[in-house]
Amino acid sequence: MTIVIILTEGAVSVTMVFDIRTLIILNFIVTIINAGSIAIIWHQYKDRFEGISLWLASTILHAVGLFLIAMRSEIPAFVASVIANALLLTGAVVLLMGLERFAGIKRSHRQNYFLLVIFAVAVNYYTVIDPSMTMREIIMSVFIMIIKSQGSWLLLKKVALNLRPITRITGLVLGGYVVVSLVRGILLMLFPLQTNDFFKSGFADSMAITMYIILSICLTVSIILMVTRRLLGEVQAQEEKFAAAFHSSPHGILLTKLYDGAIIEVNDGFVNLLGYKYDEAIGKRIIDLGIWISEEDRQTVIDKLSQGYEVRGAEFQFRKKSGEIMTGLFSASTLTLNNAKCILSNISDITESSQMKQQLQVMATHDYLTGLPNRRLFFDRFEYAMANAQRKKTGLVLMSLDLDNFKTINDELGHDIGDAVLVVAAARLKRVLRKVDTVARFGGDEFILLFGEINSKEEAVGLVQKILQELRQPYIIEEHRLGLTASIGVAMYPENGEEVDDLIKKSDEALYIAKKQGRNNFRFYTGFTNHE
């Protein structure tokens, strides 16, 4: 605004003249600030919501158009009028397209493109051929009314019902543009401008531009609010979905604090699974409830989560309130809640399937009759024992053992009695084993024994004698009292070989000699020949 003081004879009058150039520059500055605000929203949410890129493009077009108008006296009239107004009009259409995409509505804008061309031609006509500031301003007001009314109707009536509370304020602001443009157009038709100099177009244009500046600020603020309110709505919807999934899940779910294990929330699945009521769990620490059987397992999970990793599908043992032990399939991840690191855990009961899995594993690695390891498991145990022997610089002893005259028992008393004898013999063999030793049944009455951490042949002899003595004890099977003996062949690691098959072969050769020499005794492998 400019204040002009007019001195006349005997009086002084003060007249206020609105400086439109200043208003345009102010509008340009406000638009740049608006563009910066929209750019921040665009950077944060461009991948989340459609249309924000078009809002930013619209604001930039508007800023460039205002800049060209502000430079009207410095650049050609065609650029300052036709090009500048075309940019302003295009920006209005682009804004409308962005609003439609944000609302999830996509439609053709052929009619608006057509109107854009018509208005651009009309502005050019009244700028170059028949200069008329009044007609140019009327054209601009009509176009703004058409485009902004579409945007207002879109946000107030056409968007989905759940979005209308979010878009209502922006729709009302666009309606404000329609009202201002309508009033401006009517005033221009009733009181045509007396000049073609835009910067001297007078009070009505000054007020219209001032209102547009206010509306542009309101529009930017309402758009930002629209985005944040929609984001808040989506977050609330996600929270509701999470809460519904949390409480309806059949699995036990609990939310705990990372640093002290305090329980924040549990679901019905947790209550049903572990037997603790809500008031017995919430506020307590996991360690106080004693849910974890192994504190080492719990600490391993905490350490992994603290390092930023997740736990997925791990099997752990848990204790129910009743004291019953349960095998659980456990998954956990961290999240931030009220600025505190928390753990979201999921536990499902797989006790039955775990037991079945263990049974299948036992069936695959153990003899069905005696429960001893089978050939497959024995070979695994040998690899482990050999690695241990190499590390500790000790030896191994491998023995092949047969029960003497066992076939006679099967033939005379039947296979049921024979099987019972094998079970008793297996139990006796297990009694002489240490933790580092293994006995396996390879079939029939053939047993293979592996003794680790043996440092001398004398130690091996002591073990063999102990085994033979154990097996000589009478076998009481039903009404039968049976006397049995055994024969044993012995091979030493590493003296007689380093491969398990080679050692078994050599212990079998030694067993053959022991049987040939009268049974109920043992022989070490010493490089026998066939005639031995």
Q: What is the DSSP string of 292-324?
A: BS-HHHHHHHHHHHHTT--EEEEEEEEE-TTS-
CA distance linking residue 335 with residue 371, whole number of Å: 47
Nearest alpha carbon to residue 90 among 26, 168, 143: 143
CA atoms within 13 A on the CB side of 194: 3
Q: What is the pLDDT of residue 131?
A: 87
Tell if the pTM clears 0.85, that is, is over it.
Answer: no
The DSSP letter of residue 498 is: S
Sequence-separated (6 or more) residues with CB below 8 Å from residue 16: 1, 2, 3, 4
Q: What is the pLDDT of residue 54?
A: 93
**Bridge partner residues of 344 (DSSP):** 255, 333
Q: Can you tell me which residue has the tokens 């009086």?
A: 11
CA distances from 282 to 31, 158, 347, 490 (A): 53, 46, 17, 63
The encoded tokens of residue 137 equal 């301003």
Burial of 391 (0-12, 13-18, 19+ CB in 10 A): exposed
Output 111-115 pairs: Cβ under 8 A, ≥24 positions apart: 112/147, 112/150, 115/143, 115/146
Contact (CB, 8 A) for 403 and 484: yes
CA distance linking residue 2 with residue 13, whole number of Å: 14
Q: What is the pLDDT of residue 532?
A: 45
Q: What is the pLDDT of residue 15?
A: 39
Mean pLDDT in order along the chain per 10 residues (532 residues):
43 50 90 93 89 93 91 84 89 93 88 89 87 88 93 92 91 94 90 78 81 93 92 80 75 89 90 90 89 92 91 92 92 87 90 79 85 92 92 93 92 92 94 90 92 90 93 90 93 92 94 91 78 42
Contact (CB, 8 A) for 135 and 196: no
The encoded tokens of residue 138 equal 């009327």
CA distance linking residue 288 with residue 281, whole number of Å: 10
Contact (CB, 8 A) for 409 and 481: no
Cis peptide before 76 (omega within 30 of 0): no
